[in-house]
Amino acid sequence: MAFKKLAIGNDHTAVDLKNEIMEYLTEKGYEIVNVGTDSKERMDYPVSGYKVAKMVASGEVDGGILICGTGVGISLSANKVHGIRAVVCSEPYSARLSRQHNNTNIVAFGARVVGVETAKDIVDAWLGAEYEGGRHQRRIDMISEIEETQGLSVVDNAQ
């Protein structure tokens, strides 16, 4: 899937980096929907993680970008929404592989962890990679099975 329309969300730690990334991607022709905070007043990252995740899960946007201090809390929040596979990464290799092998639909990173240029590299790697399917789909299906049933038949039914 080629990403065209993206939702972006952040907490108070990541306003400046969010703005840099928005400007960078807008210049590249992406449509960006900003649902994060534009204030540096403390706020709770699950609010932004949830908003972006719901938009991705509903198909309103093709994918999402989340930024908090570490990228951890905001990605954990997003991953609680059904159908979301959010990756947090600090370098582009994991971002690329997370698309090719794990079919991630949200990328997250930390404003206190990566600088602007690394963040741009992460976003470029993530947006530029395609899900490869094939042998990876069985594993994605297993992730979905855990999500749907809170079980995993290959483990639970093993004799």
Number of residues near ligand RB5 (by CB under 6 A) = 8
Q: Report 65-124 residues binding ligand RB5 (CB under 6 A).
A: 68-70, 72-73
**Catalytic residues, which ones?**
68, 101
Tell me the closest approach of the beta carbon of residue 73 to ligand RB5, in angstroms. 3
Residue 133's Cβ-side half-sphere holds a number of Cα atoms within 13 Å equal to 2
Among candidates 112, 45, 55, 113, which has minimal Cα distance to 81? 55
Tell me the closest approach of the beta carbon of residue 1 to ligand RB5, in angstroms. 28
Tell me the closest approach of the beta carbon of residue 68 to ligand RB5, in angstroms. 4
What does the alpha-carbon distance between residue 109 and residue 87 come to, in Å, rounded to a whole number?
A: 8
Per-residue binder mask for ligand RB5 (CB under 6 A), 5-24, x = binder: ------x-x-----------
Among candidates 76, 67, 85, which has minimal Cα distance to 147? 85
For the four alpha carbons of 93, 126, 105 and 88, in that order, the dihedral sign comes to positive
* Interface positions with ligand RB5 (CB under 6 A): 11, 13, 45, 68-70, 72-73
